[in-house]
Structure formats: structure tokens, C-alpha cells
Chain A
Amino acid sequence: MAHINRENGVAAGRLDPTQVADNFTDLHPEYDGHEALVAADRCYFCHDAPCMTACPTSIDIPLFIRQIATGTPEAAAKTILNQNILGGMCARVCPTETLCEEVCVRETAEGKPVEIGRLQRYATDTLMASNTHPFARADKTGKSVAVVGAGPAGLSCAHRLAMLGHDVVVFEARAKGGGLNEFGIAAYKSTNDFAQRELNWLLSIGGIEIRYGQSLGDGITMGALQSDFDAVFLGMGLSAVNALGMDGEDKDNVSDAVDFISDLRQASDLTALPVGRRVVVIGGGMTAIDAGVQAKLLGAEDVTIVYRRGQEAMAASTFEQELAQQKGVTLICNATPVGVEGNGSLTGVTFAYTETQDGKLVTLDETFTLPADQLFKAIGQKLGDTPDALTLEGGKIKVNDAQRSSVSGVWAGGDCASGGDDLTVTAVAEGRDAAMDIHATLMGAR
């Protein structure tokens, strides 16, 4: 019988190391060659395929699956990476159940789509294991571009620019690159240090320099970048988080879910990471699920995710909700926090039920209190301080279809920019598209 630490409060080592290691293995284990062939066989090679249309990066999915089926996974990888240089990570973290796999005709036919995500991973992993990079740099253009943020958007933009022959300098606030691939995202979706391996592989194209520990307003300014480089791409993501705005939010063991996820991803020993016996997560998106599930996997006895609206309104996909429930996480919907309990340390969270009346969310009088040793807030992230010159839209940097900001010579993409869902794959698409427009602009100007 595995050791279980039922101590109240927030404590490390709730489960023994074997159990923890087992809990954090790959959510979708990689295919072996046989499994990949069997899965690839199910693809119908649809005309103008719905999966391809649903993919934010427009990967030619029927083609790459056919390339796997015919024994050329490396060619399949090139088809993928040509559209999405972070195809390896997207294969792991994309909510395929709401993108390509949702519209797969075999989902329509049999309720069981072709497993596009896992096939994509098989192709990209095969290529990366061969230690080759399928793209070569074009002749040098003599132009240089500054990229702010080494997350999915910035890396995608940087890679495409380098490939086109430009020199790129990436400015990254943290000590490591990868953005949310490295610091966000549940650990069981990106195992074996994949984010760093993918980053290093991406950089092997050459022409990209990353300068760590620098962000806008801390070591660099947009004005300086504009004068030192031919173009600037902003892809710094959302560095601030929303607050509950209620008393008690500053109590011990009340924290932001993104910090917990980041700490977990960076922890060298997960059994040393403290977690509450009874954990409450407030929110309804992927971050809430990632925090709740991982708390449970670390050994929290009770984990409850509380969302203020109905379950159908949750930003987390049905698959993610079911994953949470399968792991033993309780979902409570239509409840909003009204009080953080405890003297100094957290002892519970009080919620009031809600209901939608005439399209408006109304807080009802009836309340309940969940005992809690730890509270994670996952109620959204927002843009940090940005240069005044940039026009914002809906709290994000306003961009046009070509990812151009309101400032000439400055492009933006990813979570910090307007438009698109806050997904890795969307960030990659925006970074890539910005790079193409930057290239056209720089080369047209010559």
C-alpha cells in the first residue's frame, strides 16, 4: 500500500515517489510504429478536409497521415512543421477534441475520430529523434528583427524569420525559453523536458539569438528596439493575473494557479512540492483544470473546482472536464466565491450559488463553505504593462489580419494580441503569419 500523507494544511510528500512518477506520466503515451500504422489507416484522405480547416495552423492533415501510412513519417513531420514549427508540442497540448478531431468525419461516422494529435506526435517525434532539422536558412537578407518573448508566438515568428534569412534576437523575461510550453501546461502533457528539447531543436536552424532576463521596461524598450532593428515582434503573452478582489485574498496558501503550475513544471522533485490536503480551485478554464488535476495527482485528498457559471459555459473542453472528474476532482458549477475563511491561514472558502436570469449572472442568497487548506485562483490572465504607443482592444494589443499593431514596424501575436483563442497553436499561427508579413515588408522596402 502506497504511503499517503493526510496531514492537514499544505505539505510536501503526500504520496510516495513511485506513485507520483506514475501519476505524471504521459497523458497520451506515444504510439509505437504498429499503433501509428493502424491509426493512420483510419484516415479517409478527405477532400478539402474538415480537420485541416479546423486547424489554426492549417496543417495538411490528410497528407501527413498518408505519409505516415506509407512509411515516411519524416516527410509527414515536414508537412506538419512547414505549417507549425511547434508541431511537436501542439501534438501534445492542442485541445484536438475541439479542433481537428472534433470535425473528423470518422467522429461523425463512428464517434471515434482518427487520433490526429497522436499521429502528429508520432511524426514529429520520429523526426526529432533523428536529430535533423528539415529546414535550411535562405541566404542572409542583412535585416534583423527583434522578437519579445520566447513563447510559442515568438519562437514561431523567430524561426520563420530565420528561415527566410533574417537575423533574429529574442528577448525573454525569464531565465528559460518556451513560454507557457515551459511554465504553463500540465506536466503530464509535456514530459521528459520536451519544451526545452523542442526549443533547442528549433534553434538549430541558426540565426536566432535569445537574450534572457530582459523584457519591455526591464532592460529593453520598444523605442530602442525600433531603432536597433528593422522590425519588432511582440509576443510576450499575458504576464498579469486577475484578482478575486475580496478580503482574505492575501491569506497564506491563497495563490495564483499559474504560479502553482509553473512551480510544478520547474520542480526537480515533485514529492518536495507542497500541496494542500483539501484544495479549492476557482475558475473554469484550462488553467483551473491543470491546477486541480495536478493538485490531485500530487496527493491532495479533496480537490474541488468551482466555476461561477454553468458547466456548458466552461472554457475547458469537455475532454478536460472529464479528465478532471476521472482523476477524482469534483466540479461545482454555478457558485461564486464570497468569502475566504481563516485567521491568518486559510481554512475554507465560502461560495454563493448563482443562476442566470435574463442572460445575466445573478448571485443568490444561499451559500456554502468548502473546507480548504489551499486556494488557487484561475480566473484569467491579462496583459502586463505595455508601451503607451500601442493601441489596445479588449485588453490586448490591437492587431490587423497580418498581425500588425497600431505602431508602424511593430507586429504582435499570441496571447498578448487581439484575435484568436489563447492556444499554443493559435500563437504559432500568429507568429508565423507575422513573420511572413514582416518578411514581405522588409524585402518589399529594399
Chain B
Amino acid sequence: MADLTSNFLGISSPNPFWLASAPPTDKEYNVRRAFEAGWGGVVWKTLGAEGPPVVNVNGPRYGAIHGADRRLLGLNNIELITDRPLSVNLEEMTRVKKDYPDHALIASVMVPCEEDAWKEIIPRIAETGCDGFELNFGCPHGMAERGMGSAVGQVPEYIEMVTRWCKAATDLPVIVKLTPNITNILHPAQAAKDGGADAVSLINTINSITSVNLDAMSPEPMIDGKGTHGGYCGPAVKPIALNMVAEIARNPGTHGLPISGIGGVTTWRDAAEFMALGAGNVQVCTAAMTYGFKVVQEMISGLSQWMDEQGYNSIDEIVGRAVPNVTDWQYLNLNHVTKARISQEDCIKCGRCFAACEDTSHQAITMSEDRVFDVKDDECVACNLCVNVCPVEGCITMETIAPGAMDERTGKPVADEYANWTTHPNNPSATAAE
């Protein structure tokens, strides 16, 4: 049976599933129950400076978008960092860590961008026995207006500076949590690395308005007739997070920098995907907020089963395994030809593939009087839209046309050799092959 033990940055945890810094990790009661439910670690909800804590709104904090059957696909929030006194949090963290020495407990921190503020709080928090720090440079709402959170994460120089302060203030691992609200994730990641960060974690939430109340003409969540942008998370953000994780993992300057993957992890498969793209572990929030702490049991059993089936013995064997296959568009093999294939046995005759192809794509699917749908190989460009809109998984698949066989669309046989855009005759800057 596969060993799920995680040793991210030397921090041991029974499995690679950590709860992200968020409402689920705001207090001892929750964290104890999370550990009992099976979570490998938690990043305690972000601690702020000593003094009167921040306050939260007293109206709704969350907005959401739903898929079919009101499945929660995306959640946004306008909640701030912990609104409980620092001392209370520290006492609770100390107690929890003492009782769960084998579980990871990371302290998320956010104080003003002043060296003294960081240098003072980091050692104080370290006294709890926590395993490391996560610098919250990500929250895009509320705290950013006060020069913290994403206001820091959007300026690489600040990231590097604050990271350096923290590294000087502790021997414990320092993880820098990145905001996705930037144009190129590599700059903040590089800055964290340059500042001495032991790892980056990403993504934090994405600036968003989830919906508009059309009666009140206000964004949701609505507080007394007004709304503000909040941080978006949940299954809907996973593709954005995966790309940013992969970019950091494959970029020569940041390659090898440990990554804690965050963003819409809902199932074991999501976690495996993050890790395949270079994340050493994953952090989860929305799935727990939607289904409760018990979801981790599926993540554990699923990852374990998949690893056994694949013959992977440890987490390390998965991490980064797909990174070599992430490339630039220009290097994709233009001689690779596929065609859509519709399984008539599985087809339920809804016609969505036809509507999609006929109305919005390449008119490559025919529909007979008795609703039999077929692919016209001479028109099919293998765009995959039919596969994506088909409600029956596995009904439509893409078949690779073997080299030498005719591509009915081009009228030419499929070439055997790899050829990409860099050498394509239509590319004005192509380097001639000969």
C-alpha cells in the first residue's frame, strides 16, 4: 500500500492534505476536529498584529456560483484575517500542536509592511511550536486596502523584502503565499525565491464579483445595499491554479522551488493533478467548507488506490511527474492527427455534439433522420468540443490517426515525424530545416 506520508519542507504530516488558512482553521475546536477527521495538516487562519483584532462585516461574507443541481462550483468571500485576539490564537495553537505532534501546523501571518512588525511577531508565534510560517501576500480584499495581503503580493520587491525579514527572524520554514491577481506569476515566485523563501503556496483567491442582485442592483454578497469584490476560490479556479503551479515548476529560474498547491482541490484526483504538476502537497478549503471535514477520507482513499494501481510508493514519486510534458504551444506536434469517434452504443442521441459542431465549429458531424450522429473525417479538425459537450463520459473519444494513414480533411497521409510551428513553412520566423 502506498505511503501517503508527506515531508514537505521537512515538515512531516500523515498525508499531503492540509487545510488552507481560512475559516475552517480559525480556532482550536475546528482544527482538533479536522485532525481527528484525517487532515494531515492545517495552516492556521492568518494572524494579525497584536492589539485590537480586525472586525468583519455582520452581513453575508460569501457569494457563490452553482452548477447543475446547485453544486457549488465557485465561492468568494470578503472575510478578513482572524478577528480573534492574537493571544487566544497562540494559546490554542500551542495546545493543539502539543496534542498533535505528528500533524503539520503552519502559522499564516499578515502584519503591516514594516520590518519591526514582522521581526517581532514571527518569534512570538514560533513559541507555539508551529512547524513553519506562511506569509499571506494574497488576500485581495479588505486587508489589501490597508497595504497588506495582495497589495504586497503584487509588488515583487516587497515580497522579496518581507520574505528576507522573516527568514532572518526564524529558522523555521517560510512559505510565501502568492496572489493570482497579477499578470505573470513567475515574477512574484522569483521574488519569493530571491528573498529566501523555502516554498511558495498558490493560488490565493481571485478578485471577483460572483453575482449581482438585480432587484437591489448591488453586487453579492450585499451588505446594506452595497457589495465589494471578494476572493474567488473553489472548483472553478482550479484550471487557473494548475497553470500557475506548472509555470513555476517548469520555469528554469523557479524550477525546484517547493510548491504547496492550492485552488479548487475537491477530490483525490485534483490533488494528484496538482502534485503531478509540481506541488509537493495541497491545501484545501472550499471542499471542506462545502462538505465538511469528512471529504478528506475520499481524498486519502482515492489517492492511495490510484498510487497502488500505478505502482507509486511515495508522494515524492508523483510530484512533478507531468512537468516535463508542459510545453509551449509552438512545440506541439502539428503532425499529430486525431478524429472524433462517436460510440453508437453509448450515444443517447441528445444531439448536443451536432448542435455544437454545426452551429459553432466545423460542421463535421452529421445527423440522420433517426438521430444517428456520425463524424465527417473530411471536416473534423479534432477540436474536442463534441467530447466536451457530450453528457455521456467516454461516448465520444479522439482517435489518433496512425502515420501513413490518410487524413481525409487534408487529403494527405499523416506524417510520421514530429514537426512544430518553429519549423512550419507558414511561420514567417521559421528556421528552415535545410
Contact = CB atoms under 8 A, between A and B. Distances in A.
B70 interface: yes
A105 B348 contact: yes
A49 B354 CA distance: 12
B219 to A, nearest CB: 19
B68 A109 contact: no
Contacts of A48: 351, 367, 371
Interface stretch (A8-16, A38-46, A438-446): A38-46
B371 A50 contact: yes
B70 to A, nearest CB: 7
A108 B349 contact: yes
Contacts of B348: 105-106, 108-109
A30 B68 CA distance: 21
B33 interface: no
Contacts of B352: 44-47
B367 A105 contact: no
A106 B350 CA distance: 9
Interface in A237-278: none
Contacts of A105: 348-350
A74 to B, nearest CB: 16
Contacts of A42: 68
B270 to A, nearest CB: 23
B328 interface: no
A37 B348 CA distance: 23
A44 B390 CA distance: 9
B351 A109 contact: no
Interface in A30-84: 37-38, 41-42, 44-50
Interface in B64-93: 68-70
B69 A38 contact: yes
A47 B350 contact: yes
Contacts of A108: 348-349
Contacts of A49: 351
Contacts of B355: 47
A368 to B, nearest CB: 45
Given A37-B70, A41-B68, A47 B351 contact: yes
Nearest to A37: B70
B392 A46 contact: no
B434 to A, nearest CB: 49
B53 interface: no
Interface in A95-131: 105-106, 108-109
Nearest to A47: B351
A47 B391 contact: no
A109 B391 contact: yes
A388 B355 CA distance: 52
Contacts of A41: 68-70
Contacts of A47: 350-352, 354-355, 367
Contacts of B349: 46, 50, 105, 108
Interface in B331-388: 348-352, 354-355, 367, 371
A66 B70 CA distance: 15
A172 to B, nearest CB: 42
Interface residues on A, range: 10 to 19
Contacts of B350: 44, 46-47, 105
A109 B392 contact: yes
A107 to B, nearest CB: 9
A396 B240 CA distance: 67
Nearest to B389: A44
Contacts of B371: 48, 50
A75 to B, nearest CB: 15
Nearest to A106: B348
A139 B367 CA distance: 43
A37 B355 CA distance: 24
Contacts of B391: 44, 109
Contacts of A106: 348
Nearest to B390: A44
B360 to A, nearest CB: 12
Interface in B391-408: 391-392
A47 B371 CA distance: 10
Contacts of B69: 38, 41
A47 B68 CA distance: 19
A203 to B, nearest CB: 34
Contacts of A50: 349, 371
Contacts of B351: 46-49
- Scoring B348, B367, B391 by chain A CB atoms within 10 A of each residue's CB, the highest score goes to B348
A47 B70 CA distance: 24
A38 B68 CA distance: 8
B287 to A, nearest CB: 21
B359 to A, nearest CB: 9
Contacts of B367: 47-48
A220 B362 CA distance: 62
Nearest to A48: B351
Nearest to B68: A41
A41 B69 CA distance: 6
A44 B351 CA distance: 9
A96 to B, nearest CB: 18
- Scoring B350, B351, B355, B392 by chain A CB atoms within 10 A of each residue's CB, the highest score goes to B350
Contacts of B70: 37-38, 41
A394 B362 CA distance: 50
A87 to B, nearest CB: 24
A63 to B, nearest CB: 13
Nearest to A40: B68
A68 to B, nearest CB: 13
- Scoring A42, A45, A47, A48 by chain B CB atoms within 10 A of each residue's CB, the highest score goes to A47
B342 to A, nearest CB: 14
A108 B348 CA distance: 6
A8 B391 CA distance: 58
Nearest to A45: B352
A109 B371 CA distance: 15
Contacts of A45: 352
Nearest to B373: A47
Nearest to B69: A41
A358 B349 CA distance: 38
A385 B173 CA distance: 97
A47 B390 CA distance: 12
Contacts of A109: 348, 391-392
A269 B354 CA distance: 55
A263 to B, nearest CB: 45
A108 B354 CA distance: 18
A49 B371 CA distance: 10
Contacts of A37: 70
A375 to B, nearest CB: 45
Contacts of B354: 47
Nearest 8 Cβ contacts at the A-B interface: A47-B351, A47-B355, A105-B348, A109-B348, A46-B350, A108-B348, A105-B350, A41-B68
Given A47-B354, A106-B348, A108-B348, 16 more contacts: A37-B70, A38-B69, A41-B68, A41-B69, A44-B352, A46-B352, A47-B350, A47-B355, A47-B367, A48-B351, A48-B367, A50-B349, A105-B349, A105-B350, A108-B349, A109-B391
Interface of A: 37-38, 41-42, 44-50, 105-106, 108-109
8 contacts: A37-B70, A38-B70, A44-B352, A46-B351, A47-B350, A47-B354, A48-B351, A109-B392
